[in-house]
Structure 1
Amino acid sequence: MTSVLRDPDRTNTAFMTQRAWWLVGLNLLVPGAAQVLAGNRRLGRFGLGSTLVLWVLVVVGIALSVFARGLLLDIATNTWVLGGAVVLLLFYAVLWIVLTLDTLRLVRLVRVAPAARAFVAGLSVVALAAVSGTAAYGAVSAGAGIDLLDTVFAQGPSQPPIDGRYNILLLGGDAGPDRQGMRPDSISVASVDAETGQVTLIGIPRNLEQVPFVEGSPMYEVLPDGYTCGSKCIIDYLYTYGELDWAYLYPDAAEHNSSPGIEAMRDAVQGVLGITIPYYVLIDMQGFSDLIDAMGGIDITVDARVPFGANENPDGSPRTEPDGWFEVGEHHMDGPTALTYTRTRYATSDYERMQRQRQVQEAILQQFTPGTVLTHFVDIAAAGKEVVRTDIPKQMLSYFVQLAGKSKSQPVVSYDLTPPEVDPASPNFDEIRAKVHELLWPPDATEAPAG
């Protein structure tokens, strides 16, 4: 059979057509086999060996995903490994191009039945696009992953939980074109049980006044009595003033993938809640638009009519009508529409706005499925590095991904420091800290110190 494939009767059109189908099929299923049977055996053996190595890697990857998912995530979030994957995938893309073109040479299309030539050539092109194209896209995706990891996440060792929990400050920064600088209008803390993955979300209104700072912090040394000057000193402003006026207090912030404004906010939130917050995540609400578009949009359920538009005209006079309405029902929102939904202030309160921002954030998390990530990874990675900033170390990413998997099976507990329970203009911080401690470490559980 081998000798016939290698040295066929080229005048036998029927056999040459059958031979063409065999060679093209073998090249698709077992790259290198066509060359071993009918062409350059050295090239064929190299192709077969490379194919075998790839199959082994695929089997190992499947086994790790089933039996050692944590190890697989550690590997997948290692930039050195991803760099090796880029080189390997590019190698396979080039190899399969060479093998496919050589297979077409071996086929001798001019000897194939005229009616079959287009189909044989077409199958080869489809195979080339499917195999080499997939490898090339994988290389591009791995490169985008390296860029995302290096841009968004910090360098540093893994850290143990504090009192059994990981506390993460979530800042939704709004740097829209109508604003000077960025203000973190969405301020919350996600406290995650390190064992069960249960999440408690604590929302902090942007207009919280008389904010204290955690003892021992740089801000506490400057303002030991807190940020107390009435409505002109709300927690929302701390980011801007931290960046402009108190940057000298945090000279090492940039080295830890942070900034003075973020650190000032963190010191304030720790003082308000009475807990230690080792990590932050800053999400640019304006950049949400690109991220949502990269995902193909998100689905939002509007429970009550929401007007959108500015409260004032350009001349400062009040507006009597909104620009439009988000009607009750299901909405599939693109990026700009979702941003309008979260930012609108027309005839609405900051507390309602907080709820809409959280609704959009939760929709993104819920609809951030593996299928969406795989099909839009490059665009999502490009948008993600513009949207997210954090001091979570890359080394902890795989652990948090696994913890997030546990979180899906646990109820989310929410607590907002909003009226009537909390008066933002005159908050009782002792009561707030006691409530937070009760939420994070319930009385029927083992007591843990507020830390």
Structure 2
Amino acid sequence: MSVASAPRLGRGSAPRSLVNPYPIRYPDSSSRDVMTRRAWWLVALNLLIPGSAQALAGNRRLGRVGLGATLFLWVCLVFIGIVTLASPAVLVGLMTGAWIPEWLSALRGIPLLVAQGLMMAYALLWAILTVDTLRLVRFVKVKPWARLATGVLAVGAMVLSTGGAVYAAGVAGSARESLGAIFTQTGPAIEPVDGYYNILLLGADSGDGRDSMRFDSISVVSVNADSGAVTIFGIPRDMPGFPFAEGPMQDKYPNGHESHTSPTCGWGSGINQLRTEVEVCGDGNALYPDAVENGSEPGIEATKDAAEGILGIQIPYYAFIDMYGFAALIDALGGVDITVSERLPKGGGPAYDGQPAEDWAIGWIEVGEQHMDGDTAQWYARSRYTTNDWDRMTRQRQLQEAILAQFTPANVLTRFQEVAAAGQHLVQTDIPQSMLGYFVELAIKAKEQPITTIELTPLNGIDDRDPDYAYIQELVQQALYPPPPATSEPAG
């Protein structure tokens, strides 16, 4: 064949007389069938393997960036999946920076910040790749019906991918902000005490009149470090004459807490009076000079010493729950399901002794199965004027279990930003971020078994006017360390 008869090559096109080895990059643009098939391939490749459309039909440099980013993302997702299945605690530790040394604890938010930045970068990259893919399709050469179909598929895929990446970035950002607001960055991970992690759980209204705030709900959550089994000890807020663990309050009250009859410092000797006594009427910072620096408060530390003295166990951590934020958390979780055993009024209580509840109630919680929003659940936990403190303690524990039941992975993931925002206004704690991995692993184990609740009330043989603290401590030991079941001797 002479040079004159050789097929002429157009710039950017494949030889027409030969089988085209690059139909995606050099298609027969005169054939609508070819261009339509090519359009479907490009859109599908961009959806399944971002960057591959550019590598085959467009800017190869952009394609290499897209393919490299896609490969890196796949590797990260496989790694996260393997670590999650093997040990969720390790994943939480990695993301919260528990591996960062204590002297660099201020940098523990960096992993989540990096994850947030990467997700935003992926969102931008996928948008660029999709727009460029639509350019490569060359819609004017595609069959009319396929123009709309491929365009809708490409745009829909872009919305899902970029929207998912933006949502993931938002989750990472919310997690970083919430962790920084709730948990302390400093503080090393500690070993369990006698096989348990014990946490003082306090509940109160911390909004208006914080100087006179008293803890309306006091309990200690003991989590078995091996099994994750949870035991909750409910301490009545009016428990009198209680002993303190070794410390400044024991030095002040070596024979147990004494009654006060001051309108400023509180009435009676209940444990819920300690915050007012220590912080309002006393020099709490002198009693507990390191409290604030360690993420706590003098009144909380005094209450912790009291709980240790009552139960006879060490309590290294506390968590304070604000009842105003409590309602927001329940709303963020989508409400809770509670079986109500008796009709309860909503409202602040009677204006005078003997005033019927019908006169002051702003609403009622009816008997039966109820799906409660945050406001209703808050009244359910606080109502006591038509019942008593013991009943209220039982309802509070019932509500705690209902909230835990709502903390499923699917529910938290779909509502994460609302839950995280509510958590910032709900919880105050001295648990360090370095401990989160341990507690996540224990929480997973705890969901597989029932919660044991022991209220220190007359229902368990405890005199509310003159408690036998030796008996209480024995009760606690039996609950945490039950004797092994007796084994019968084999017949001789």
TM-score by length of 2: 0.85
Task: Give the whole-Å Cα distance in 1 for the aligned partners of 2:21 and 2:440.
Answer: 51
Which of 255, 280, 303 matches 1:225? 255
Paired residues for 1:188-203 under 5 Å: 188-203=219-234
Moved over 6 A (4+): none
Deviation per CA, 1:341-398: give whole Å up to 9, x if none.
Answer: 1122331111111111111111111111000111011111111111112111211111
Structure 1 equivalent of residue 138 of structure 2: 108
Asked if the contact 2:88–2:437 (Cα under 8 Å) also holds between the matched residues in 1, the reply is no
Matched, 1:19 2:38: yes
Deviation at 1:411, TM superposition (A): 4.1
Structure 2 spans left out of the alignment, 5+ residues? 1-19, 98-108, 261-266, 486-492
Q: Report the AA paired with residue 302 of structure 1.
A: V
Q: Give 3-state SS (helix, strand or coil) of 2:216's partner.
A: strand
Contact 1:198 1:406 in 2 (8 A): yes
In structure 2, distance between residues paired with 1:342 and 1:398: 30
Which amino acid in structure 1 is aligned with residue 255 of structure 2? D
Compared CA separation, residues 176 and 296, structure 1 to 2 (3 A): same
Q: Residues 255-305 of structure 1, C-alpha deviation per residue, up to 9 Å, x if partnerless?
A: 111111111110111111111111111111221111111111111121333
Task: Answer whether contact 2:321 2:427 (CA < 8 A) is retained.
Answer: yes
Q: Would you say 1:371 and 2:402 are equivalent positions?
A: no
Alignment partners' CA distance in 2, 1:332 and 1:144: 27
Question: Which secondary structure does the structure 2 equivalent of 1:189 belong to?
Answer: strand
Match among 67, 84, 99 for residue 129 of structure 2: 99
Q: C-alpha deviations, 1:219-270, integer Å up to 9, x for none?
A: 2223333321165221111123333224221221111111111111101111
Residues 384 and 391 of structure 2 are in contact (CA less than 8 Å); yes or no, is this contact kept in structure 1?
A: no
Give the stretch that moved more between structures: 134-143 or 83-92: 83-92
Q: Which residue number corresponds to residue 295 of structure 1?
A: 333
Answer with 72-81 or 140-149: which moved more. 72-81
SS at match of 2:371: strand
Task: Report the Cα distance in structure 2 between the residues aligned to 1:67 and 1:59, rounded to whole angstroms.
Answer: 12
In 2, the alpha carbon distance for the partners of 1:203 and 1:246 equals: 28
Structure 1 pair 351/317, CA: closer, same or farther in 2 (3 Å)?
A: closer
Query: Hey, what's the Cα distance between the residues in 2 that align with 1:178 and 1:345?
Result: 21
Asked if the contact 1:310–1:345 (Cα under 8 Å) also holds between the matched residues in 2, the reply is no
Where does residue 175 of structure 1 map in the other structure? 206
Q: Is the 8 A contact 1:308 1:345 kept in 2?
A: no
Q: How many Å apart are 1:120 and its aligned residue? A: 2.0
SS at match of 2:417: helix
SS at match of 2:114: helix
SS of 2:145 mapped into structure 1: helix
* More moved, 365-374 vs 302-311: 302-311
Cα displacement (A) at 1:17: 2.5
Query: Which residue pairs with 2:317 in the alignment?
Result: 279
Q: Match for residue 449 of structure 1? A: none
What RMSD over aligned residues (CA atoms) do the two structures have, in Å?
2.1
1:430 aligns with 2:488: no
- More displaced, 23-32 or 421-430? 421-430
Q: For residues 184 and 116 of structure 1, do their structure 2 counterparts lie closer, same or farther at Cα, with a shift above 3 Å needed? A: same
Q: Distance in 2 between matches of 1:56 and 1:271?
A: 52
- Identical-residue share of aligned pairs (%): 50
Q: Which runs of 5+ in 1 are unaligned?
A: 446-451
| Alpha-carbon distance, 1:2 to partner | 6.2
Q: Deviations over 1:201-235 (max 9, x none)?
A: 111011111122112x1222233333211652211
Cα distance in 2 for residues equivalent to 1:271 and 1:259: 18
Is the contact between residue 242 and residue 264 of structure 1 (CA under 8 Å) also seen in structure 2? yes
**1-structure distance, mates of 2:25, 2:91:** 43
Q: Give the conservation status (yes or no) of the 8 Å contact 1:2–1:38.
A: no
Q: Are 2:69 and 1:54 aligned?
A: no
Equivalent residue in structure 2 for 1:415, among 435, 454, 465:
454
Aligned equivalents of 1:404 and 1:302: distance in 2?
A: 27
Mapping of residues 251-290 of structure 1, within 5 Å: 251-290=289-328
Compute the displacement of 1:401 (Å).
Answer: 1.4
SS at match of 1:424: coil
Describe the superposition over 1:55-99 as per-residue Cα deviations: whole angstroms up to 9, x where unpaired.
Answer: 111111122222343322322333332222112212211111111
Q: Quote the residue 1:77 is aligned against.
A: 96
* Equivalence map 1:114-153=2 (5 Å): 114-153=144-183
1:159 aligned residue (171, 187, 190):
190
Counterpart code for 2:61: R
Distance 1:123 1:3, change over 3 A: same
Q: CA deviation digits over 1:94-146, x for unaligned, max 9?
A: 11111111111111223333333232222122111111111111111111111
Q: Aligned equivalents of 2:211 and 2:387: distance in 1? A: 22
Q: Contact between 1:253 and 1:263, CA under 8 Å: does it hold in 2?
A: yes
Contact residue 165 and residue 194 of structure 1 kept, 8 A: yes
Shift of 1:317: 7.4
Shift of 1:189: 0.8
After TM superposition, the score normalised by the length of structure 1 is 0.92
Instruction: Give the letter aligned to residue 118 of structure 2.
Output: L
State how far apart, in whole Å, the 2-side matches of 1:276 and 1:114 are.
Answer: 75
The residue type paired with residue 299 of structure 1 is: D
CA distance in 2, matches of 1:178, 1:347: 25
| Paired letter, 2:277 | Y
Aligned length: 443
Q: Quick check: 363-372 or 197-206, which moved more?
A: 197-206
Residue 272 of structure 2: aligned partner = 236
- Partner SS for 1:188: strand
Q: Secondary structure at the match of 1:263?
A: helix
Given that residues 242 and 310 in structure 2 are in contact (C-alpha distance below 8 angstroms), is that contact kept between their aligned partners in structure 1? yes
- CA distance in 1 between counterparts of 2:346 and 2:278 reads 31
Structure-1 separation of matches of 2:288 and 2:431: 18
Q: Does 1:34 align with 2:53?
A: yes
Comparing 55-64 with 430-439, greater Cα deviation is found at 430-439
Q: Which amino acid aligns with 1:88?
A: L
User: Which residue of the partner structure matches residue 247 of structure 1?
Assistant: 284
**What secondary structure does 2:339 align onto?**
strand
Whole-Å Cα distance in 1 between the matches of residues 372 and 302 of structure 2? 34
In the aligned structure 2, how far is the partner of 1:14 from the partner of 1:335?
59
Question: Which deviates the most, 189-198 or 173-182?
Answer: 173-182
Larger radius of gyration: 2
